[in-house]
A and B are shown apart, each in its own frame.
Chain A
Amino acid sequence: MSILTKTNDLGFFEIRLESIGGLGANLAGKMLAESGVLGLGLNGANFSSYGSEKKGSPVKSFVRFCEPDVEIHDHSPIEEPHVIGVFHEALHKTVNVLSGLKPDGIVLVNSTRDFEEIRRDLKFPYGTLAVVDAMGIAIDEHTKVNTSMLGALFRICDFLDPDSMREVIKHTFQKKYPHLVEPNLRTFDRGYHEVRFQTIPAPEGVQGMRFERPQPLLGYATQAPGGIIRAQGNSLLKDLSGSRQGFVPELDADSCIHCANCDTVCPDLCFVWESGEDKKGRAQMYLSGIDYQYCKGCLKCVEICPTGALSMRREEPGYADSHRVAHVFQ
């Protein structure tokens, strides 16, 4: 009898993980897939979206499972998954994370917020929503988000064997980092047990989330020949706030001496200056704030600040938007 509770027309149970580079979604996808293939003898495939993107950029990891006798020919990305794992809550601002979700699919979100707020942000009124504070668990245990997310994913994919994953964790850390075995096991177990579920049955006739195959912004009739770009500096249209992993610099204007050390070390050109006059009426530059649209939360500025005017804070939702000082571009 099949252990896969549901499959699509081709016989696949499919999982898509939505994350940003650096959170370990890739590794989580690999471990999920290995656990099904090597642990349970299923057939499977695992791959990721690839590009030149760096840490902090959106990434996807895909897992396909099927019965051992089913052959996997398809190499293409998973469009209509049964399970979607969202590793980073802010992603929904830039990525259609729920695209193609099956009507009976499950969405797992790493969040501290309640079901209603998440449903509103994700535009996910019906279906099963699973929520786990994966980041909080990881911070408590000094471990990684992907381990707590894996715990929750194992709970959702109930055909997988969490004990086999526990063995993998032991095996991974035991030899080189024995002190990390217990915290990682706890992280996995907490993800497994602390994930909360809420199912709102869809009214009759409601479809799943339609999949949108992304189209390029430009086509052969609208690209300048040779790939030339004449819109210099247009990367400023991008929003990079989704690259942060929980922390932002906070500026205390009163203790700032406008030394510009922060401006010197900031890789993301976030510091906003304006000209003014000093006490003697001479022209002088003043730091007016931080443009959080571009801040990736590296905190180099906090480290270099000589007066403590810049400090680190855990980013709660809404903080950056309400404290942003926007660059003015001409």
Chain B
Amino acid sequence: MSITEEKMTKMTLAEQTTAFESGNEAAAMAAAQINYHVMGYFPITPSTEIAQILDQKKAQGLHDIQLIAADGEHGSAGICYGAALAGARVVNATSANGFMYMIEQLPVQSGTRFPMVLNLVTRAISGPLDIRGDHSDLYFALNTGWLILTASTPQAAYDMNIMALKWSEHPEVRLPVIVAYDGFFTSHQKRKLSYFKDAKSVQAFVGETPPVGFDDVADPSRPISVGAHMNGDDLLNNHYQLHLAQERAAEVYQQIAAEYKAISGRDYPVLELYQMEDAEVALFLLNSAAETAKAIVDKLRAQGMKAGLIRPNVIRPFPAEEIRTALRGVKALLVGERADSYGGKGGNMTHEIRSALKLDPANETIVLSRVFGLGGKDFYPDEAEAFFNLAIEAMNQGEAAVPFDYFGQVPGDPVHELRPILTPQHGDAFNSGLIQVTPDEATGKLKVKLPPLRNLTAKPKRLAPGHGACPGCSAISSLELFYKGIEGDVVTLFQTGCSYVVTAGYPYTSHKQTFIHNLFQNGAATVAGAVEAFWERKRRGEIEVSDNVTFIMVTGDGGMDIGMGPAIGSALRNHKMIILEYDNEGYMNTGSQLSYSTPLGHQTSTSGVGKAQKGKAFHHKDTPQIMAATNIPYVFTGAEAFPQDLITKAAKARWYAQNEGLVYGKVLSTCPLNWRSEDQLGTKILQTAVESCFFPLYEIEHGVTNITYNPEAKNKRISPQEWLKLMGKTKHMLQDQELLDAFEEEVNRRWERLKLKHESPLL
């Protein structure tokens, strides 16, 4: 330690600047100042802002981080791992199910010992889905081998992001680090905080470049093999090394925290002990809830009660020794946890604290455990007081009457129990008899007869009004229009996305027929399972229902990115179902991040426009052509601006899904909020997208392409600029001839190819 002390005396406080920003802004600021090499990310609330802010700063030329928009969190973790293997400094951010989806990769990274920093902006994991904060995701991190810092304020989110990198890269540690802070409570709350005025101060602290002398895959002159498989004899020794690194990391942390304090003036001891010196009753809380409880400690102290609070800054390695010391004189402790370890009679922190105390034979602390504040349920000071009262009661009685329980649950009043308000409609109710689909034996194609739109208003809608979509959202009107072409019953699954969120917010649903939600990497697989079970149970005579049921998986374009694998798998297996994609050209549900379907140059919150960047860098994904390559019976595109065309395709889709196999359709859908367009122009914008040939209307029936609306033939073709000028997200493109040319060239190339396919059944 003498070396450290000597070194520290040389350090002086680096100049700070005051800001008023949120935890996500703070984490992004730290990343920009460090100037990481790579961030491979995938949007998920509430962590997404970090990538967005870094994209904004990138567009302004404020850092050089390579921001790579992954196809899902599993992919993002892979990108990060690969970059770490190549010796890069790597940062990532995620939350909840994003974390769950990447978790497979995390022990790979710790087990092969490559550093990086991951911001885990904590949020409840599904299901049921809840976008707000708790620690159920964080608790899954405990067994990954990663080091874990817990940041209770935006200031801590900033500081720990800087300390984390140095800790991770330390020669005696070499483990990836998670910085966990509370979703929304900390990620989105703006506080007064201090930043290093000059990024050079941060870079001097972490080192301008990564430490040398470690294996990486970037230098062909020093070839290595990474990831050879092992047997138990070797694996046990590998993991023992990892265990030793965690042990060593505890000491290294002390050193790094001391160095950081010397340049910042801000101190992050392993445990924050608030009024613990002589405390007799105490709370143990992670992160923001602990901050909230401090006011109650002060209040009880003023009343003469010896109350205190323990809040850890580090939970991996777990500070067992420090906890034993802190609790030596405490008579009763309540551990409040924002996640349960179901069936374990206490959350993970409870067990780790009790286990730490067991090693101190003199310890007599009564440990109570309460699960609270799940799914972002707010935690108020008076609830912290209720926690203290439980601990005081246990202290006075010398035992915990109820050692473990939930806190804040309510039984509910039977008066409010949900009761059906509509008589369920099915079968004939949705058989209007107005739509005829007949196979034409000569052509092998389907012929559809439709009545005027007016007649179809007699058919009941599939969705009830009262959903929460933004004004002017085309996703809902397009879906309802598609449903008009479907006769008989439907079972729908909506993958996570706007249409799901706005039509099924508990305890309300806008779905009149059966509806399922599943997370958006797996909807196609889920419907595949449901449809096969439906037919098998019907075959066994267990259910007596009509054949006239269509299974439909509804997804946004984002869901066709992260869910592409299961969608292709389902298509190759050719289940009798429809995949309907409403394409609004981005991840609109999480705040307009780019999807692969975002066209070139279009501005989103992760494809910003500035001096160093011109919107999205690559062309939109041609999903219909990808799906067509699986040789499914029917593929189509559609738009609300051409209603008869879309209803006709829906009728064909139903026939194919009931008789032959999988159908894929893409419907372009206006998002006025994020396209920054006038609400009332939604339909017109879709019309211009079609007439500019950006979004051709066509179908591929048994592999044969048919353009169903050819604007050239009707002399209605317009330039793509006529479409682009209607949206705020593309205004900048009109002033950029080079970008415009590149965009038009791709539109033309795809259109010309499509025409050739239309002309030749073999293509």
Contacts and interface: CB of A to CB of B under 8 A. Distances in A.
A237 B421 contact: yes
Contacts of A285: 454-455, 457-458
Contact of B20 (A38, A223, A263): A38
A206 interface: no
A245 B188 CA distance: 26
Interface string B655-682: 0000000000000000011000001111
Interface string B444-473: 000000001111111001011111111111
Contacts of B19: 38
B649 to A, nearest CB: 15
Contact of A217 (B409, B507, B680): B507
Contacts of B232: none
A235 B465 contact: yes
Interface stretch (B142-150, B163-171, B497-505): B497-505
Contacts of A258: 454
A45 B191 contact: yes
A284 B454 contact: yes
Contacts of B467: 235, 268
B213 interface: no
Interface in A49-77: 50-57, 72-77
Interface in A147-169: none
Interface string A249-260: 000000000111
A54 B453 contact: no
A251 to B, nearest CB: 15
B192 A273 contact: no
A10 B382 CA distance: 13
A233 B367 CA distance: 47
Nearest to A226: B128
Contacts of A33: 20, 190
A37 interface: yes
A207 interface: no
Contacts of B184: 47, 50
Contacts of B188: 47-48, 50
Interface in B402-455: 409-414, 416-424, 452-455
B464 A233 contact: yes
Contact of A259 (B20, B192, B454, B509): B454
A234 B189 contact: no
Contacts of A244: 471
B457 A304 contact: no
Contacts, number: 275
A95 interface: no
A233 B457 contact: no
Contacts of B186: 75
B422 A233 contact: yes
Interface string A98-119: 0000000000000000000000
Interface in B265-310: 288-289, 291-295
B364 interface: no
A96 interface: no
Interface string B166-185: 00000000000000001011
Contacts of A269: 461, 463-465, 476, 480
B227 interface: no
B466 A55 contact: no
Interface stretch (A124-132, A138-146, A192-200, A291-299): A291-299
Given A222-B416, A233-B511, A235-B465, A264 B410 contact: no
A273 B458 contact: yes
B412 A229 contact: no
B683 interface: yes
B485 interface: no
Contacts of A54: 468-470, 473, 498, 501-502, 673
Give the size category of A's interface with B: 35 or more
Nearest to B294: A73
B643 interface: yes
Q: Which of B191, B468, B473 has the most CB of A within 10 A?
A: B468
A47 B190 contact: yes
Nearest to B479: A267
A264 B471 contact: no
B112 interface: no
A227 B454 CA distance: 38
A2 interface: no
B556 interface: no
Interface string B532-544: 0000000000000
B378 interface: yes
Contacts of A266: 477
B325 to A, nearest CB: 24
Nearest to B500: A52
Given A236-B421, A275-B458, A303 B684 contact: yes
B46 interface: yes
B554 to A, nearest CB: 15
A110 to B, nearest CB: 18
A48 B476 CA distance: 27
Contacts of B46: 50
B526 interface: no
A144 to B, nearest CB: 14
A218 interface: yes
A43 interface: yes
Q: Which of B18, B291, B471 has the most CB of A within 10 A?
A: B471
A227 B683 contact: no
B409 A55 contact: no
Contacts of B512: 232-233
A56 B472 CA distance: 11
B379 interface: yes
B292 A232 contact: no
B162 interface: no
A1 interface: no
A127 to B, nearest CB: 25
Given A237-B421, A264-B640, A76 B503 contact: no
B481 interface: yes
B214 interface: no
A216 B465 contact: no
Contacts of A299: 472, 679-680
Contacts of A261: 453, 643
A166 B134 CA distance: 40
A213 B454 CA distance: 48
A224 B418 contact: yes
Which 5 pairs between the two chains have the least Cβ-Cβ distance?
A219-B412, A235-B466, A222-B412, A298-B472, A233-B464
Given A236-B510, A298-B471, A329-B421, 11 more contacts: A10-B295, A46-B189, A55-B471, A219-B412, A224-B418, A232-B513, A260-B454, A265-B477, A265-B683, A273-B457, A294-B465
